[in-house]
């Protein structure tokens, strides 16, 4: 691989590592205490590989989707060793290590709020009769890195229809498991636990919005949000809440975790917008892993504008961040 010499690298690219460390510095400040981690150290690639379990060979039956991107996906190694999942540590290499012994089964999801079918659904009931699709999506983290990920999943709209929401249901709120004995990161108040995210009803019903249960045709690895996680490809990664145990239909816009933590930096909509800088860094470009440098322009709505921009007609694009 050709590595650029530092003198060739514009300063806009050099800031990259600082950018993704910033959110963590901020967290340490607000949390007072910090997880005892190797903060800021970058683990060399060969070491990461050595620590990685091989694909576990629990194959799923899937069919391809015409909603997939044709861009080449990142490797299994990249997708499973570079994760944001603060329940298992705030450094991107930590979830692969600390989520290893997490048991995502049995699993059930509580359905609450403005819908006819409140109650509890086992994961098996949620999946019964579903056709699982390979959905190869671009993923753009607010911290300016990106990947292409071959998810296995099904439209969130399918679950929503089963719940029969009432006309009062304007938003869907989804919540991650709260169990500090199984998710050690929750012993540290880096954010308000449990992690919650929400979508407006039309966003939740959009055919691009999926619940993922797999990766590369196999059952989802723990660090990627097993056994059930949201994927909303036109929004920054933090919208895609992992290890979901609750789906609630609500009338008012929910307060999502990152907005609660820093409403000056993170909003509810979180649509990928290269024209609106994050208060502390630019969103104009991104680093497509495994590159160490920003190597491509970020596209509005992460390249899914044709399919989703219509939902936001008339809204202030700054508010969409």
Tell me which residues touch ligand MTE (CB under 6 A): 83-87, 139, 141, 176, 195, 224-225, 237-238, 240-243
Report the residue number, 115 or 270, with the smaller CB distance to Mo ion: 270
231 lies in the site for Mo ion, by CB under 5 A = no
Give the whole-angstrom CA distance, residue 244 versus residue 242: 6
Residue 241 touches which of ligand MTE, Mo ion, none (Cβ within 5-8 Å per kind): ligand MTE
Least distance to Mo ion from the beta carbon of 248, Å?
A: 23
Give the whole-angstrom CA distance, residue 141 versus residue 180: 25
Report the residue number, 126 or 174, with the smaller CB distance to ligand MTE: 174
Q: In Å, what is the CA distance from 86 to each residue of 147, 170, 186, 270?
A: 19, 28, 8, 19
Q: Within 10-69, which residues bind Mo ion (CB under 5 A)?
A: none
Report the number of secondary-structure helices (H) and strands (E) in the chain.
10, 13
Q: Following DSSP, what letter does each residue of 111-175 receive, concatenated? A: EEESBS--EEEEHHHHHTTPPPEEEEEEEE-TTSEEEEEEEEEEEHHHHHHHH-B-TT--EEEEE
Least distance to Mo ion from the beta carbon of 7, Å?
A: 31
Residue 155 touches which of Mo ion, ligand MTE, none (Cβ within 5-8 Å per kind): none
| Tally of CB atoms within 10 A around 4 | 12
Show the binding pattern over residues 101-140: x = contacts Mo ion (CB under 5 A), - = does not.
Answer: ----------------------------------------
Report the residue number, 165 or 246, with the smaller CB distance to ligand MTE: 246
Residue 80 touches which of Mo ion, ligand MTE, none (Cβ within 5-8 Å per kind): none
237 lies in the site for Mo ion, by CB under 5 A = yes
Q: Residues 142, 231, 77, 52: what is their CA dihedral angle, to the nearest 10 degrees? A: 100
Radius of gyration of the chain (CA): 19
Report the residue number, 132 or 230, with the smaller CB distance to ligand MTE: 230
The binder of Mo ion chosen from 96, 115, 141, 226 (CB under 5 A): 141
Report the residue number, 27 or 141, with the smaller CB distance to Mo ion: 141
Report the residue number, 216 or 238, with the smaller CB distance to Mo ion: 238
> Could you tell me which of 130, 92, 124, 85 has the C-alpha nearest to residue 222?
85
Give the interface segment with Mo ion, choosing from 154-162, 170-178, 229-237, 257-265 (CB under 5 A): 229-237
Q: Which helix (H) or strand (E) holds 210?
A: strand 210-215
Q: Which helix (H) or strand (E) holds 287?
A: strand 285-288
What's the CA angle centered on 301, arms 93 and 91, to 5 degrees?
10
Residue 83 touches which of ligand MTE, Mo ion, none (Cβ within 5-8 Å per kind): ligand MTE
| Tally of CB atoms within 10 A around 18 | 12
Report the residue number, 127 or 149, with the smaller CB distance to Mo ion: 149
Residue 300 touches which of Mo ion, ligand MTE, none (Cβ within 5-8 Å per kind): none
238 lies in the site for Mo ion, by CB under 5 A = yes
Interface contacts to Mo ion, rule CB under 5 A: 84, 141, 237-238
């Amino acid at each position: 691989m050709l590595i650029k010499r530092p003198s060739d690298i514009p300063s806009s690219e050099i800031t990259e590592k600082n950018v993704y460390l910033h959110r963590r510095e901020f967290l340490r400040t607000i949390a007072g205490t910090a997880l005892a981690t190797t903060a800021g150290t970058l683990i060399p690639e060969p070491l990461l590989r050595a620590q990685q379990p091989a694909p576990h060979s629990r194959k799923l039956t899937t069919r391809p989707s015409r909603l997939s991107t044709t861009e080449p996906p990142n490797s299994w190694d990249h997708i499973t060793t570079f994760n944001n999942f603060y329940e298992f540590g705030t450094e991107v290499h930590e979830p692969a290590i600390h989520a290893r012994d997490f048991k995502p089964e049995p699993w059930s999801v509580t359905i609450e709020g403005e819908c006819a079918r409140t109650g509890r659904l086992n994961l098996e009931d949620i999946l019964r009769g579903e056709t699982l699709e390979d959905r190869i999506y671009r993923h753009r983290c607010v911290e300016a890195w990106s990947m292409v990920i071959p998810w296995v999943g099904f439209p969130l709209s399918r679950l929503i229809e089963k719940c029969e929401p009432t006309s009062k249901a304007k938003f869907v709120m989804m919540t991650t498991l709260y169990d500090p004995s199984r998710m050690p990161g929750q012993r540290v108040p880096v954010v308000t636990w449990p992690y919650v995210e929400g979508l407006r009803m039309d966003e939740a019903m959009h055919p691009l919005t999926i619940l993922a249960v797999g990766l590369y045709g196999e059952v989802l690895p723990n660090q990627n949000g097993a056994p059930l996680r949201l994927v909303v490809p036109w929004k920054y990664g933090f919208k895609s809440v992992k290890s979901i145990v609750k789906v609630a239909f609500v009338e008012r816009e929910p307060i999502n975790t990152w907005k609660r933590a820093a409403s000056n930096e993170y909003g509810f909509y979180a649509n990928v917008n290269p024209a609106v800088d994050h208060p502390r860094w630019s969103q104009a470009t991104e680093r497509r892993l495994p590159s160490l440098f920003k190597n491509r322009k970020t596209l509005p709505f992460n390249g899914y504008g044709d399919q989703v921009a219509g939902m936001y007609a008339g809204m202030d694009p700054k508010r969409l961040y």
